[in-house]
Homo-oligomer: A and B are copies of this chain.
Amino acid sequence: MASAAKAAVEAVQDGVKKLAVKEGSTNVLERRLFFIPSFKIYGSVAGFYDFGPPGCAIKQNVTQLWRQHFILEESMLEVECPAVTPEAVLKASGHVDRFTDFMVTDAKTGDCHRADHLLKAALEALLEDPKAGLMPEKKSEAEDVLARIDELDGPGLGAALTKYGVKAPETKNDISAPFPFNLMFKTSIGPKGDTVGYLRPETAQGIFVNFKDLLYYNGGKLPFAAAQIGQSYRNEISPRAGLLRVREFTQAEIEHFVNPDDKDHPKFASVQDVTPLLFSCALQTNEAKRPEAMSLGDAVAQKIIANQTLAYFIGRTYLFLVGIGIASERLRFRQHLPNEMAHYAEDCWDAEVECSYGWVECVGLADRSAYDLRAHSAASKTPLEAYEKFAEPRYEQVLVAKPNKAAIGKQFKKEGKPLQESLDALTQEDAACIKKSFDEGKPATVSAGGRDFEVTPALLDIKQEEQKLSGRKFTPSVIEPSFGIGRIIYCMFEHAYYARESNEDKSVFRFKAAVAPLKAAVFPLVQQPELNATARSISAALTRAGLANTVDTTGTTIGKRYARTDELGVPYDITVDRTTIDGDGSVTLRERDTTAQVRVHQDAVAELVQQLVTGAVTWQMVLDTHPAQQPAAEDNT
């Protein structure tokens, strides 16, 4: 087969497989209440999901693992701030003015649509339509617009929508020109109704506004990191794609504050050999457009990643994601292209995970420089700075300006007061400017109190002096890893899902034990009081060991009960039978993915499961040291 044809067939096979995973996993995920549309009995509202019992347990496990991996391991300062946020905070951060998507409305129905989504769908349809018969140059023009959609502003989107004659979906009515729609949920704080508040669109701002206190708490020392896990809110125009685009979601964000002159990380050596797929700007813009595996040590040495701290967090993120069950070959770190990045950002990388929806941004890692602290400092008029003591004192030439108070008073009387204040607060730049005029023998013009003053050396003495500096104040840079917990969990679901080879109707989630919603299920083989009692006492022992578990005393066949727990991704099933009561006291312990079974004494099984869950022993070690149990026929049907 020609390689192009082979690639095409493989792509189709791959597509079919992904669709099967999506359909199979979605079926199980909804039926077993991993997550479900919220407020279902009231017809639901787009963009809101509930986590049901297994989903909620998994989310708890993932956030606790995150806390252990990042906060505990790095001694980060965790904070918890309200979601309701007064306008001043989000005005300063830029969200009130700029946290918008462009919207168009249906001219007849008034229905709202995202402008970029409509344009994208229209261009994709045009390019795929064999009847469109596009000329090569028109085709390449359309492809170019499609590639640059994210860069278009309102007028740009409007022009493109007009050019390609885009109509409202379904109704095919005309659409309005695009206009910005702020994505924040607005509310009012207090009874008077005059204090505007918003639901925070990200958790990060709560950390920035506390920077001063947190620095003090840390003994005034940099670097340090603060973290927050909590709900964020975005009033999406038309949410879709399940858990991937929702209106309320859990974020876990870290703000690592660092001296802008020293972004090395003391623990970088621990991740320098981690080798994720990196999709740098260069690789995105070359011919092949493929990410490449590269060690983080090399990526920093070759200046592909801007600094050690950013690379350190890329490494820790990789280890976290793979640790909770994201397939490493379906995880890549994509660098932002220069036109994607905010002007103040130094370098940004997204952890993207492949699932049936394509490559999904799950974590953003950005070196945001001093932007956020400067913005809040200016708006709140509160210095948000750190102090660096120099190892050796430094000597610097500074201009010292001394206004002659008496002369100013004499010359300008009362009106001299604003001038006096202005001269007292001269910056080095202003002083240099005035000194230049004086050196040229000219007076300088100084604006103060709404008028101009002519200032001569008689009114202001300016001298250059050497000053000893033992340290300096500066605004720290911040490196921000920001995790979307729901997206990560959804991708993990897809990566963990498979159908048994022996029976494609049997769905399994191969969750890591630490992530699994229940660590074990206990079954009496048949419904007998003695077996039930033993099952309950094993369950109690598991609970004492801190292992979430369930007892299934329905009389259903053991095969069906195994299938039920496989669907929940329960790693270990324990079956109590007559041998447990009348024989050697052993129970059956079955592992989910191999479906292999061994006999273990009932008094030892809870501790053994605990060791398996913590990784102290492996399933192979258990197989090697315990007698095997032949599975009953029904387990394989």
Contacts and interface: CB of A to CB of B under 8 A. Distances in A.
Interface of A: 32-33, 36, 38-42, 45-46, 48-53, 55-57, 59-60, 64, 67-68, 72-73, 75, 77-86, 88-89, 103, 110-112, 181, 185-192, 195, 197, 199, 206, 209-210, 212-214, 217, 219, 226, 231, 233, 235, 237-238, 247-248, 376, 379-380, 382, 384, 543, 546, 548-551, 554
A33 B78 contact: no
B84 A56 contact: no
Contacts of A81: 38, 50
A39 B79 CA distance: 13
A59 B188 CA distance: 28
Given A89-B39, A213-B36, A192 B45 contact: no
B190 A84 contact: no
A548 B576 CA distance: 39
A53 B78 contact: yes
A82 B37 CA distance: 10
A39 B84 CA distance: 11
18 contacts: A33-B214, A36-B213, A38-B81, A39-B86, A39-B88, A40-B210, A45-B190, A46-B190, A48-B82, A51-B79, A51-B80, A52-B213, A56-B79, A75-B549, A110-B192, A112-B191, A189-B247, A191-B238
Contact of A80 (B46, B56, B233): B56
A545 to B, nearest CB: 11
Contacts of A247: 82, 84, 189
Given A51-B80, A56-B78, 17 more contacts: A33-B214, A33-B217, A40-B210, A41-B382, A42-B209, A45-B86, A49-B82, A52-B213, A53-B226, A56-B79, A57-B78, A64-B64, A75-B549, A84-B233, A185-B189, A191-B235, A231-B231
Residue of A56, A89, A546 most packed against chain B (CB within 10 A): A56
Nearest to A384: B41
B186 A185 contact: no
B79 A53 contact: yes
A40 B209 contact: yes
A73 B39 contact: no
Given A42-B380, A56-B78, A189-B45, A73 B210 contact: no
Given A46-B190, A192-B112, A33 B213 contact: yes
A99 to B, nearest CB: 14
A89 B50 contact: no
A231 B190 CA distance: 18
B51 A213 contact: no
Contacts of A548: 72
B210 A550 contact: no
Contacts of A197: 45, 185
A59 B380 CA distance: 29
Given A48-B82, A51-B79, A53-B77, A237 B72 contact: no
A195 B50 CA distance: 19
Contacts of A195: 45
Nearest to A32: B217
Nearest to A380: B41
Contacts of A78: 53, 56-57, 60
A82 B212 CA distance: 32
Report, nearest first, the 3 A-B pairs whose CB atoms are least far apart.
A112-B191, A41-B380, A53-B77
A191 B380 contact: no
A550 B75 CA distance: 7
B187 A84 contact: no
A25 to B, nearest CB: 18
A484 B67 CA distance: 23
A230 to B, nearest CB: 8
Contacts of A68: 546
Given A78-B57, A79-B51, A110-B192, A39 B186 contact: no
Residue among A42, A72, A212, A376 with max Cβ neighbours from chain B (10 Å): A42
B209 A39 contact: yes
Q: Chain B CB within 10 Å — which of A41, A49, A214, A548 has the most?
A: A41
Given A52-B210, A206-B50, A543 B237 contact: no
Contact of A60 (B59, B67, B551): B67
A214 B40 CA distance: 12
A626 to B, nearest CB: 27
A52 B78 CA distance: 7
A68 to B, nearest CB: 7
Contacts of A384: 41
A177 B42 CA distance: 37
Contacts of A56: 78-80
A549 B68 CA distance: 12
Given A33-B217, A39-B86, A42-B380, A181 B191 contact: yes
A375 to B, nearest CB: 12
Contacts of A189: 45, 185, 235, 247
A488 to B, nearest CB: 15
Contacts of A73: 543
Nearest to A207: B50
A207 to B, nearest CB: 10
Contacts of A382: 41
A585 to B, nearest CB: 25
Given A41-B376, A50-B210, A53-B77, A248 B84 contact: yes
Given A56-B78, A187-B199, A213-B36, A83 B231 contact: yes
A187 B185 CA distance: 6
Given A60-B78, A543-B73, A84 B185 contact: yes
Contacts of A192: 110-112
A219 B554 contact: yes
A178 to B, nearest CB: 12
A606 to B, nearest CB: 14
